[in-house]
Chains A and B, each alone.
Chain A
Amino acid sequence: MIAATGREGLGTVLTRSIALVALAGGAGLVHSLFEAPLVLTLQAAPAPAPVPDPVPTPVPVPVPNTDPAQPAEVSTPTATDAAAVAVPAGPEKLDAAAAFALFDQGAQFVDARRRELWLEGRVAGAWQMIPAELRNMQDAPHVGDALAALDPGATTVVYCVGGDCEDSVNVAILLQAAGFTDLRIMGASFEDWQNAGYPTESGDPAGAGGMP
């Protein structure tokens, strides 16, 4: 216990501790204004062992350089905790039309938005998973169902809310670590897809929480 031995009571001591925290927060805030923003981005695990499937050469996950003015990058642990390697900046994200072309060719889709958004509407046939769920699958059984159903060797298109959202890239990198070999990112949002009149569906499919 902290005994008040001088003129200061415990209340004063606690108040000063809190004041120091507030001062530190303020100083940190000012400090942050003079530094490049810390961009927390994922780094991919090394390419997994080749899948026994005659698919074309694995294509690295395209990671858009969303803000070249922010060179600082923080590595993020992958699902496998394997030694990380940087994901090279890839081609542009797919627009809705390009993604639909892949859809037409039978590509599988993964929705990296929150489940409630997925329930409201999604690309027809899209499975749902967010990065945190992929990392803690015991809390998200539907992710296990999705991984069991998805073909790691098939073309897989991942999308999130569009714009600068990073969850599609993060999910793609985690999927790559899980053995997926042909991953693409749709930069367009679900709304763009919907507005273009491409196939959609909604609601909670019966059964395992994955797809009907």
Chain B
Amino acid sequence: MSALRIAESIVLTPLRVGLGGLMLYAGLLKAQDTLLFANAIKAYQLIDPYTDAHAITTLAYTIPWAEMLCGLALILGAWARGAGLLLAAMLAAFAWGNWENWGGTCTCFGSSDPFCGAQPIGECHMLRNAGLGAAALLVAWRGAGLWGLDALLSRAKARRAARKTLAVASADAVDRAAASP
């Protein structure tokens, strides 16, 4: 366990837990009021509600759960790189939506946005998305760090493999000793 890896984990752990918590919160808010979120998606006017209403409904139910699952994965440090990548992609899509609706209303965190409050979509929202997206990309790149489930499982797997190798080597040594005159 190198000092560099420990230092990296000291940065990654609070980052992923904080990001995961935020995403879990954002997803929960949306999932609690799917209708409000569907309205928000429609208000962006990126999907035609006359011809593609089903797409709005699908997104209104899928996005909150994707956020919650990614949040949970990041907090636990399980599948953290996959969750970070998905989150980065989602945040990029949200940023595009915000860009297209500059000055509109963002319901990204329901009615209680911890970053930008109730102000219309603008620089604050873009900066927030960029910051969260950068954090998600960092997790996607470096993983959960030493104290996530991914690393714990990986270490447990490595220990099992080492024990198996050791057992095989010991058995070989015993066999060789027994075979020697």
In the assembled complex, the Cα of A198 lies from the Cα of B60 at a distance in Å of: 44
Asked if A77 is at the interface (CB within 8 A of a chain B CB), the reply is yes
Given contacts A20-B69, A25-B62, A28-B61, 16 further A-B contacts (CB under 8 A): A5-B142, A20-B66, A24-B62, A25-B58, A27-B65, A27-B69, A31-B61, A32-B57, A35-B34, A38-B38, A38-B56, A40-B42, A74-B49, A75-B39, A76-B50, A130-B50
Asked if B64 is at the interface (CB within 8 A of a chain A CB), the reply is yes
Ordered by A's residue number, 12 sampled pairs between the chains whose C-beta atoms are within 8 Å are A2-B140, A8-B143, A13-B81, A19-B82, A20-B79, A23-B69, A24-B66, A27-B68, A38-B34, A72-B35, A75-B39, A135-B48
Residues of B contacting A77 in the complex (Cβ-Cβ under 8 angstroms): 42-43, 45, 49
Overall SS of chain A's interface: helix
Size of B's binding interface in residues, CB under 8 A? 41
Given the known inter-chain contacts A2-B140, A27-B65, please indicate yes or no for A38 contacting B60, CB distance below 8 A. Answer: yes
The chain B residue with its CB closest to the CB of A170 is: B50
Given the known inter-chain contacts A19-B82, A21-B66, A28-B65, please indicate yes or no for A6 contacting B49, CB distance below 8 A. Answer: no
Size of A's binding interface in residues, CB under 8 A? 37
Asked if A149 is at the interface (CB within 8 A of a chain B CB), the reply is no
Residues of A contacting B56 in the complex (Cβ-Cβ under 8 angstroms): 38, 40, 74
Asked if B29 is at the interface (CB within 8 A of a chain A CB), the reply is no
Asked if B154 is at the interface (CB within 8 A of a chain A CB), the reply is yes
The chain B residue with its CB closest to the CB of A15 is: B82
Given the known inter-chain contacts A38-B34, A38-B35, please indicate yes or no for A13 contacting B69, CB distance below 8 A. Answer: no
